[in-house]
Protein backbone atom coordinates (compact mmCIF):
# COMPACT_ATOMS: atom_id res chain seq x y z
CA UNK A 1 0.00 0.00 0.00
CA UNK A 2 1.21 3.50 -0.82
CA UNK A 3 2.07 5.76 2.05
CA UNK A 4 -0.03 8.93 2.37
CA UNK A 5 1.46 10.53 5.46
CA UNK A 6 4.44 9.96 7.71
CA UNK A 7 5.57 11.74 10.86
CA UNK A 8 9.17 11.24 11.92
CA UNK A 9 10.28 12.30 15.38
CA UNK A 10 8.03 15.36 15.49
CA UNK A 11 8.70 17.71 18.41
CA UNK A 12 6.70 20.77 19.32
CA UNK A 13 6.87 23.05 22.38
CA UNK A 14 4.87 26.08 23.39
CA UNK A 15 6.83 28.42 25.66
CA UNK A 16 8.94 25.57 27.01
CA UNK A 17 5.92 23.30 27.45
CA UNK A 18 6.83 20.18 25.45
CA UNK A 19 3.58 19.09 23.85
CA UNK A 20 4.96 16.68 21.25
CA UNK A 21 8.09 14.77 22.21
CA UNK A 22 9.00 12.68 19.20
CA UNK A 23 5.90 11.47 17.41
CA UNK A 24 6.32 8.74 14.76
CA UNK A 25 3.36 7.68 12.70
CA UNK A 26 2.64 6.38 9.22
CA UNK A 27 -0.65 6.34 7.33
CA UNK A 28 -1.28 4.36 4.16
CA UNK A 29 -3.62 5.70 1.50
CA UNK A 30 -7.29 5.07 2.30
CA UNK A 31 -6.41 4.29 5.90
CA UNK A 32 -8.37 5.67 8.85
CA UNK A 33 -6.33 6.18 12.00
CA UNK A 34 -7.84 7.39 15.27
CA UNK A 35 -5.84 9.25 17.89
CA UNK A 36 -7.05 8.75 21.42
CA UNK A 37 -5.67 10.08 24.66
CA UNK A 38 -6.41 12.48 27.48
CA UNK A 39 -6.95 16.21 26.89
CA UNK A 40 -3.59 17.86 26.58
CA UNK A 41 -1.83 14.74 25.34
CA UNK A 42 -1.00 16.52 22.08
CA UNK A 43 -3.68 15.25 19.67
CA UNK A 44 -4.77 18.67 18.42
CA UNK A 45 -1.22 19.98 18.20
CA UNK A 46 -0.25 16.98 16.11
CA UNK A 47 -3.05 17.64 13.62
CA UNK A 48 -2.27 21.36 13.50
CA UNK A 49 1.38 20.53 12.75
CA UNK A 50 0.37 18.27 9.84
CA UNK A 51 -1.71 21.15 8.45
CA UNK A 52 1.27 23.51 8.97
CA UNK A 53 -0.83 25.73 11.22
CA UNK A 54 1.97 25.18 13.75
CA UNK A 55 5.60 24.92 12.65
CA UNK A 56 7.38 21.84 14.06
CA UNK A 57 10.47 22.35 16.23
CA UNK A 58 12.16 19.15 15.10
CA UNK A 59 11.36 16.11 12.98
CA UNK A 60 9.79 15.75 9.56
CA UNK A 61 6.31 15.39 8.15
CA UNK A 62 6.08 13.70 4.77
CA UNK A 63 2.99 13.80 2.59
CA UNK A 64 2.97 11.55 -0.46
CA UNK A 65 6.74 11.44 -0.41
CA UNK A 66 7.22 15.22 -0.06
CA UNK A 67 8.80 16.68 3.07
CA UNK A 68 6.32 19.45 3.91
CA UNK A 69 8.39 20.67 6.86
CA UNK A 70 11.39 21.45 4.63
CA UNK A 71 12.48 25.05 4.22
CA UNK A 72 10.88 27.06 1.46
CA UNK A 73 7.87 24.80 1.00
CA UNK A 74 4.78 26.64 -0.23
CA UNK A 75 2.46 26.17 2.74
CA UNK A 76 -0.65 27.21 0.84
CA UNK A 77 -0.03 24.54 -1.80
CA UNK A 78 0.35 21.85 0.91
CA UNK A 79 -2.78 22.94 2.75
CA UNK A 80 -4.86 22.64 -0.39
CA UNK A 81 -4.30 18.89 -0.29
CA UNK A 82 -4.88 18.46 3.43
CA UNK A 83 -8.30 19.29 4.83
CA UNK A 84 -8.82 19.96 8.52
CA UNK A 85 -12.04 20.21 10.52
CA UNK A 86 -11.97 21.87 13.90
CA UNK A 87 -13.76 21.19 17.15
CA UNK A 88 -15.37 24.65 17.11
CA UNK A 89 -16.44 24.44 13.40
CA UNK A 90 -14.88 27.85 12.62
CA UNK A 91 -17.31 28.61 9.84
CA UNK A 92 -17.16 32.14 8.42
CA UNK A 93 -20.14 33.84 10.10
CA UNK A 94 -20.45 36.63 7.52
CA UNK A 95 -20.95 34.24 4.59
CA UNK A 96 -23.78 31.95 3.62
CA UNK A 97 -23.21 28.21 3.78
CA UNK A 98 -22.70 28.16 0.01
CA UNK A 99 -20.08 30.93 0.14
CA UNK A 100 -18.30 29.20 3.02
CA UNK A 101 -17.93 26.17 0.80
CA UNK A 102 -17.03 27.97 -2.45
CA UNK A 103 -14.59 30.56 -1.06
CA UNK A 104 -11.46 28.44 -1.29
CA UNK A 105 -12.30 26.70 -4.61
CA UNK A 106 -12.89 30.13 -6.15
CA UNK A 107 -9.99 32.06 -4.64
CA UNK A 108 -7.39 29.32 -4.34
CA UNK A 109 -8.18 27.01 -7.25
CA UNK A 110 -9.50 29.84 -9.44
CA UNK A 111 -12.76 28.09 -10.26
CA UNK A 112 -15.60 29.98 -11.90
CA UNK A 113 -18.40 30.95 -9.52
CA UNK A 114 -20.93 28.80 -11.38
CA UNK A 115 -18.71 25.72 -11.38
CA UNK A 116 -17.83 26.18 -7.71
CA UNK A 117 -21.52 26.63 -6.88
CA UNK A 118 -22.50 23.46 -8.73
CA UNK A 119 -19.85 21.39 -7.00
CA UNK A 120 -20.68 22.87 -3.60
CA UNK A 121 -24.41 22.16 -4.02
CA UNK A 122 -23.60 18.61 -5.05
CA UNK A 123 -21.55 18.09 -1.87
CA UNK A 124 -24.18 19.76 0.33
CA UNK A 125 -26.81 17.54 -1.25
CA UNK A 126 -24.74 14.45 -0.55
CA UNK A 127 -24.54 15.32 3.16
CA UNK A 128 -28.19 16.32 3.53
CA UNK A 129 -27.58 20.06 3.60
CA UNK A 130 -29.03 21.06 0.21
CA UNK A 131 -31.76 23.22 1.77
CA UNK A 132 -29.24 25.08 3.94
CA UNK A 133 -27.12 26.50 1.12
CA UNK A 134 -28.43 30.06 1.46
CA UNK A 135 -28.55 30.08 5.27
CA UNK A 136 -25.98 31.77 7.47
CA UNK A 137 -24.03 29.59 9.91
CA UNK A 138 -25.65 31.04 13.04
CA UNK A 139 -29.04 29.77 11.81
CA UNK A 140 -27.84 26.16 11.83
CA UNK A 141 -27.60 23.60 14.61
CA UNK A 142 -24.16 22.57 15.82
CA UNK A 143 -24.38 19.29 13.95
CA UNK A 144 -25.33 21.04 10.74
CA UNK A 145 -22.52 23.57 11.19
CA UNK A 146 -20.00 20.82 11.65
CA UNK A 147 -21.25 18.99 8.56
CA UNK A 148 -20.89 22.25 6.61
CA UNK A 149 -17.34 22.57 7.92
CA UNK A 150 -16.61 19.05 6.64
CA UNK A 151 -18.14 19.89 3.26
CA UNK A 152 -16.09 23.09 3.14
CA UNK A 153 -12.89 21.09 3.62
CA UNK A 154 -14.00 18.46 1.08
CA UNK A 155 -14.69 21.11 -1.55
CA UNK A 156 -10.92 21.45 -1.98
CA UNK A 157 -10.78 17.73 -2.89
CA UNK A 158 -8.10 16.99 -0.29
CA UNK A 159 -6.04 13.78 -0.31
CA UNK A 160 -6.06 13.62 3.48
CA UNK A 161 -8.60 14.79 6.05
CA UNK A 162 -7.66 15.72 9.61
CA UNK A 163 -10.53 15.76 12.09
CA UNK A 164 -9.85 17.44 15.41
CA UNK A 165 -12.41 16.26 17.98
CA UNK A 166 -15.17 17.28 15.64
CA UNK A 167 -17.98 16.10 17.94
CA UNK A 168 -16.65 17.46 21.24
CA UNK A 169 -18.55 20.73 21.03
CA UNK A 170 -21.84 19.11 20.05
CA UNK A 171 -24.90 18.23 22.09
CA UNK A 172 -25.14 14.44 22.46
CA UNK A 173 -28.16 14.09 20.15
CA UNK A 174 -26.27 15.83 17.33
CA UNK A 175 -23.15 13.67 17.44
CA UNK A 176 -24.53 10.79 15.36
CA UNK A 177 -25.25 12.89 12.26
CA UNK A 178 -21.64 14.06 12.16
CA UNK A 179 -20.18 10.62 12.82
CA UNK A 180 -22.30 9.22 10.00
CA UNK A 181 -20.78 11.73 7.61
CA UNK A 182 -17.32 10.59 8.64
CA UNK A 183 -18.31 6.94 8.21
CA UNK A 184 -19.44 7.74 4.70
CA UNK A 185 -16.11 9.40 3.97
CA UNK A 186 -14.25 6.37 5.28
CA UNK A 187 -16.39 4.09 3.13
CA UNK A 188 -15.53 6.25 0.13
CA UNK A 189 -11.84 5.62 0.80
CA UNK A 190 -10.76 8.99 2.26
CA UNK A 191 -7.46 8.89 4.12
CA UNK A 192 -8.20 10.26 7.58
CA UNK A 193 -6.41 11.06 10.80
CA UNK A 194 -9.02 11.53 13.52
CA UNK A 195 -8.52 12.83 17.03
CA UNK A 196 -11.55 11.73 19.03
CA UNK A 197 -13.06 11.06 22.42
CA UNK A 198 -15.74 8.83 20.90
CA UNK A 199 -14.25 5.43 21.68
CA UNK A 200 -17.15 3.42 20.25
CA UNK A 201 -16.82 5.32 17.02
CA UNK A 202 -13.05 4.84 16.96
CA UNK A 203 -13.49 1.10 17.45
CA UNK A 204 -15.95 0.96 14.50
CA UNK A 205 -14.18 3.10 11.99
CA UNK A 206 -10.45 2.95 12.63
CA UNK A 207 -8.11 0.56 10.88
CA UNK A 208 -5.62 1.49 13.58
CA UNK A 209 -5.85 3.28 16.92
CA UNK A 210 -2.98 5.28 18.42
CA UNK A 211 -2.87 6.08 22.11
CA UNK A 212 -1.13 9.41 22.61
CA UNK A 213 0.27 10.01 26.06
CA UNK A 214 2.42 12.91 27.19
CA UNK A 215 3.52 13.86 23.69
CA UNK A 216 4.40 10.42 22.31
CA UNK A 217 2.45 7.59 20.71
CA UNK A 218 2.67 5.10 23.53
CA UNK A 219 0.77 2.30 21.91
CA UNK A 220 -0.79 1.61 18.55
CA UNK A 221 -2.63 -1.31 17.00
CA UNK A 222 -5.89 -2.51 15.56
CA UNK A 223 -8.89 -1.27 17.54
CA UNK A 224 -9.88 -4.69 18.85
CA UNK A 225 -6.43 -5.13 20.40
CA UNK A 226 -6.19 -1.60 21.87
CA UNK A 227 -9.67 -1.62 23.35
CA UNK A 228 -9.74 -5.27 24.50
CA UNK A 229 -6.16 -6.10 25.31
CA UNK A 230 -4.05 -2.96 25.76
CA UNK A 231 -0.41 -3.75 26.54
CA UNK A 232 0.71 -0.55 28.23
CA UNK A 233 -0.38 0.18 31.81
CA UNK A 234 -1.06 3.84 30.87
CA UNK A 235 -3.38 2.74 28.07
CA UNK A 236 -5.23 0.41 30.46
CA UNK A 237 -5.56 3.21 32.97
CA UNK A 238 -6.91 5.65 30.35
CA UNK A 239 -9.44 3.15 28.99
CA UNK A 240 -10.44 2.22 32.53
CA UNK A 241 -11.35 5.85 33.23
CA UNK A 242 -13.30 6.04 29.96
CA UNK A 243 -15.27 2.95 30.91
CA UNK A 244 -15.95 4.37 34.38
CA UNK A 245 -17.26 7.53 32.76
CA UNK A 246 -19.64 5.36 30.74
CA UNK A 247 -18.16 6.40 27.42
CA UNK A 248 -17.19 2.93 26.15
Partner 1 sequence: MTGPSVDEAGEPDPLSGHGGSRLLGNRGVLISTASTVIFFGALALIVVLAPGFKSVREGFFDWAAMKDSLLGVPEEGLPGIAPSFLLNVEVFLVAEVLILVLALVVAVVRQIPGPVFFPFRLVAIMYTDLFRGTPLLLVIYIFGFGIPALQIRGLSTQDEVVYGTAALVLSYAAYVSEVYRAGIESVHASQMAAARSLGLSRWQSLRYVVLPQAIRRVIPPLLNDFVSLQKDTALLAVLGVIEAARAAQIYSAYRFNYSSFVVSAFLFILVTIPLARFTDHLIERDRRRRAARGAP
Q: Closest by alpha carbon to 49, among 88, 22, 89, 16?
A: 22
91 binds partner 1 (CB under 8 A): yes
76 binds partner 1 (CB under 8 A): yes
84 binds partner 1 (CB under 8 A): yes
83 binds partner 1 (CB under 8 A): yes
Sign of the C-alpha dihedral computed for residues 92, 98, 102 and 103 taken in this order: negative
Strand-strand pairing, 58-63 and 3-14: antiparallel
Residues 36-65 that bind partner 1 (CB under 8 A): 48, 51, 53
How would you class 138 by CB atoms within 10 Å of its CB: exposed for 0-12, middle for 13-18, buried for 19 or more?
Answer: exposed
Q: Applying CB under 8 A, which part among 27-35, 74-82, 112-120, 222-230 lies near partner 1?
A: 74-82
Alpha-carbon gap, residue 109 to 58, rounded angstroms: 31
The distance of closest approach from Cβ of residue 104 to partner 1 in the complex, given in angstroms and rounded to an integer, is: 4
Cβ(120)–Cβ(133) under 8 Å? yes
The distance of closest approach from Cβ of residue 92 to partner 1 in the complex, given in angstroms and rounded to an integer, is: 6
* Residue (104 or 239) nearer to partner 1, CB: 104
Residues 93-152 that bind partner 1 (CB under 8 A): 93-94, 103-104, 107-108, 138, 152
The distance of closest approach from Cβ of residue 36 to partner 1 in the complex, given in angstroms and rounded to an integer, is: 23
The distance of closest approach from Cβ of residue 48 to partner 1 in the complex, given in angstroms and rounded to an integer, is: 8
Non-local (6+) Cβ contacts of 12 within 8 A are 18, 19, 20, 42, 45, 49, 54, 56, 57
2 binds partner 1 (CB under 8 A): no
156 binds partner 1 (CB under 8 A): yes
* Residue (53 or 58) nearer to partner 1, CB: 53
One residue of 33, 34, 56, 79 binding partner 1 per CB under 8 A: 79
73 binds partner 1 (CB under 8 A): no
Sheet arrangement for strand 208-213? 82-85, 160-164, 191-195, 32-36, 208-213, 216-221
**Nearest 5°: phi and psi at 58?**
-155, 160
Q: Binding residues for partner 1, how many (CB under 8 A)? A: 25
* Residue (37 or 105) nearer to partner 1, CB: 105
**Nearest 5°: phi and psi at 153?**
-70, -40
Q: In this structure, how many other beta carbons lie within 10 angstroms of the beta carbon of residue 240?
A: 12
**Nearest 5°: phi and psi at 224?**
-60, -40
Q: Applying CB under 8 A, which part among 91-99, 123-131, 189-197, 210-218 lies near partner 1?
A: 91-99
Instruction: By CB under 8 A, name the binding residues for partner 1.
Output: 48, 51, 53, 75-77, 79-80, 83-84, 86, 88, 90-94, 103-104, 107-108, 138, 152-153, 156
Amino acid sequence: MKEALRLEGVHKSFDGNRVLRGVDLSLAEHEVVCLIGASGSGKSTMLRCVNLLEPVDAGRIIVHGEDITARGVDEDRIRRRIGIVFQAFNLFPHMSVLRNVTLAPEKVLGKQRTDADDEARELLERFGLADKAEEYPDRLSGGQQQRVAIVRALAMRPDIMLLDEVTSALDPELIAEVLNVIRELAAAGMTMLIATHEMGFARDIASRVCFLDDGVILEEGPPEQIFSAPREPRTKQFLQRIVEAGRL
